[in-house]
């Protein structure tokens, strides 16, 4: 369920007409519904009621500070994968004890920042990283709380670019070497073993891969404890998928039942890292039709959003539902059309052959399920400005990330001295020619 519904023929975010936001903010823009964020977090948390859990929202899914603060007020922690995300989580009000620092390529500076902040744990992904973290911790005179990320060699049955738990993936240490790596960690000064971490991928729509991974990790908990390691936490990652179309996906309640059945008796705090399942359907991208174009064989709706604003269709062949902001008349005949952006690449396509009601220039469209892995992946490709983000709460809305205009982008590109003036450049070119 989300809170983007038609009211009197106009698509609204909660109680705010999207056309009103477009008139005040301009297009394109991202829009998030507080009510959906809160509902999805609550439904997810309720699925684990009675278990000792910590729910750490995956900041990589949506790193907007207002979104993070909305979830932090409900009790969410944060799963971060960079120093920048750590700063965002702290600014948003997430308690350091609720932050898990993940990521396969942490720098020493990021390690130092995480230790200085006092995060709950650092999920180590390799032996070289373990050595580096030990050195950083000793230099700072502190002990690093560590969970080793184990790669269980489980196929998540998801898109190849977001599968992370197979043996050929870059993430974690092989589960068959966990005994050896934990023994090495236990012997190191500056390292305090606190748990195990596992994460097999994103947008997983079948519970079986989770089950396979969790059984393997559950057995590993027993083995490591028998070796004398104090395993206090079990970070089972995130990855629960959401519906982008009509295909059924497991509910948080079904996922919670599986976790409870497999891991409820391991005597660990269970750390969960949901991202997409919380934020995905809580956001949309609103765009305006620039032109309707009749091609030789296809009909095109050219809109003012582009692949730099929403990369998922170009990168993952992702399918996002698209609907007009003004509700079509009941008798409107649908027409297959391609919804495309202005960038000079065929990949700048949001939908191909999509049945839509008749459209005209200046009509507004809403691209749905755009609350996760959309705004965070945006770029200024083609020197296009980064678009604003809006948060709605009931009948109120606020811009929670302002447009980053081209002039601001250009201001961060200083010329070197030899290009500072045309005259200087000309003299240098003449000398080079001699």
- Cα gap 233→124, rounded to integer Å: 14
Mark whether 344 is an active-site residue: yes
**DSSP annotation string for 86-112:** HHHHHHTT--GGGEEE--TT--HHHHH
Alpha-carbon distance 334 to 114, whole Å?
Answer: 53
Catalytic option among 31, 56, 268, 344: 344
SS3 call for 154:
coil
Length of the chain, please? 434
Q: Give the E-state strand segments of 198-238 in sequence order.
A: 233-235
Neighbour-count burial of 34, counting CB atoms closer than 10 A to its CB (0-12 exposed, 13-18 middle, 19+ buried): buried
Cα torsion 90, 92, 95, 101: sign: negative
Residue 124 near residue 147, CB atoms below 8 Å: yes
373: which 2 tokens?
């892995």
Place of tokens 């049955």: 157
3-state SS of the chain: helix, strand, coil percent to 5?
Answer: 35, 25, 40
Tell me, rounded to whole angstroms, the distance of Cα 137 from its chain centroid. 29
Q: What's the CA gap between 233 and 235, in Å, rounded?
A: 6
Residue 10 Cα to chain centre, angstroms: 29
The stretches of 118-206 forming alpha helices (DSSP H) are 127-140, 178-186
Q: For 203, which DSSP code?
A: S
H/E stretch holding 254: helix 252-263
- The SS3 assignment for 432 reads helix
Residue 99: φ, ψ to 5° = -110, 130
Q: Half-sphere exposure (CA, 13 Å, Cβ side) for 360? A: 2
Catalytic residues: 344
């Amino acid at each position: 369920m989300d809170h983007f519904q038609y009211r009197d023929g106009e698509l609204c975010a909660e109680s705010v007409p999207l056309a009103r936001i477009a008139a005040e903010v301009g297009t394109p823009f991202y829009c998030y519904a507080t009510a959906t964020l809160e509902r999805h977090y609550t439904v997810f948390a309720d699925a684990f009621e009675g278990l000792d859990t910590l729910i750490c929202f995956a900041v990589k899914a949506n790193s907007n500070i207002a979104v993070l603060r909305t979830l932090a007020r409900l009790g969410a922690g944060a799963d971060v994968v960079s120093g920048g995300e750590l700063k965002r989580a702290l600014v948003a009000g997430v308690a350091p004890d609720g932050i898990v620092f993940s990521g396969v390529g942490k720098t020493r500076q990021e390690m130092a920042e995480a230790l200085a902040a006092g995060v709950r744990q650092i999920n180590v992904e390799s032996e070289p990283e373990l050595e580096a973290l030990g050195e950083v911790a000793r230099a700072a005179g502190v002990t690093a709380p560590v969970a080793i990320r184990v790669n269980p060699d489980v196929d998540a049955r998801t898109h190849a670019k977001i599968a992370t738990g197979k043996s050929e993936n870059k993430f974690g240490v092989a589960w068959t070497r966990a005994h050896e790596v934990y023994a090495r960690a236990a012997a190191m000064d500056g390292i305090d073993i606190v748990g195990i971490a596992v994460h097999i991928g994103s947008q997983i729509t079948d519970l079986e891969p989770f089950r396979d991974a969790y059984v393997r990790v559950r057995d590993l908990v027993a083995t490591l404890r028998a070796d004398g390691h104090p395993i206090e936490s079990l970070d089972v990652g995130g990855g629960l998928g959401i519906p982008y179309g009509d295909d059924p996906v497991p509910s948080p309640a079904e996922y919670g039942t599986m976790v409870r059945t497999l891991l409820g008796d391991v005597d660990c705090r269970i750390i969960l890292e949901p991202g997409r399942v919380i934020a995905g359907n809580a956001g949309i991208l609103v765009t305006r039709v620039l032109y309707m174009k009749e091609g030789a064989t296809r009909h095109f709706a050219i809109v003012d959003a582009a692949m730099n604003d929403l990369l998922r269709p170009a990168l993952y062949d992702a399918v996002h539902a698209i609907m007009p902001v003004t509700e079509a008349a009941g008798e409107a005949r649908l027409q297959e059309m391609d919804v495309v952006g202005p960038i000079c690449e065929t990949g700048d396509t949001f939908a191909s052959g999509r049945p839509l009601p008749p459209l005209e220039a200046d009509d507004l469209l809403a691209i749905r399920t755009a609350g996760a892995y959309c705004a965070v992946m945006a770029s200024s490709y083609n020197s296009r400005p980064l678009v604003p983000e809006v948060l709605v709460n009931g009948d109120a809305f606020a811009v929670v990330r302002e447009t980053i205009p081209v002039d601001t982008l250009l201001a961060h590109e200083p010329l070197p001295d030899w290009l500072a003036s045309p005259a200087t450049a000309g003299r240098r070119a003449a000398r080079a020619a001699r």
